[in-house]
A = this chain, B = another copy of it.
Amino acid sequence: MSRDLTHFNEQGRAHMVDVTDKQVSQRTATAYARILMEPQTLTRIREGKMAKGDVLGVAQVAGIMAAKKTSDIIPMCHPLPLTKIDIRFEEHPEVNALDIYGTAKVSGVTGVEMEALTAVSVAALTVYDMCKAIDKGMVITTVCLLEKTGGKSGDFVRGGGSI
């Protein structure tokens, strides 16, 4: 049963799953996104961060605000009183990549995977928006869940080689 598509009601239509009787527990989720870009774009972002224009600063505010909007963006997501959102960036110039990590936390009855995934997706889209004048070919090559803890379905950790 727990391996079923749980978002459909007895009419075969989507509904917001009943979580009224699920137990409150502390839940966390961490998601990951990678963006590939031209080398000079990554250089510009890095200089911007150190000097004046802060692409990553804007992207990070965007990701945090989007995480709070998750239940307004993803139709079957429950509204949740998020207690933490954090976004970190890692530059990998050797592969022309910018990596984004987002962690969400809540003490509640459902998990926060979608909040973490929404945070990194919107942060990545914001990076694209702010750099598209110089690099329209940027590609978001990965958006995935890295790990989650808490809840009845147990913890999840992505296998080492699987990103």
Contact = CB atoms under 8 A, between A and B. Distances in A.
A97 to B, nearest CB: 14
Query: Chain A, interface size: which category?
Result: 35 or more
B81 A14 contact: no
Interface in A106-158: 106-109, 113-114, 117-118, 121-122, 124-126, 128-134, 136-145, 148, 153, 156, 158
A160 interface: no
A125 B121 contact: yes
A54 to B, nearest CB: 6
B79 A81 contact: yes
A85 to B, nearest CB: 4
Interface string A60-99: 1110111111011111111111111111110000000000
A64 B53 contact: no
Nearest to A29: B136
Q: Is the interface of A mostly helix, strand, loop or mixed?
A: mixed
A104 B103 CA distance: 29
Contacts of A128: 114, 117
A18 B107 CA distance: 11
A124 B20 CA distance: 26
Given A62-B73, A121-B121, 9 more contacts: A5-B134, A15-B84, A16-B67, A64-B76, A74-B126, A83-B109, A121-B125, A137-B145, A138-B144
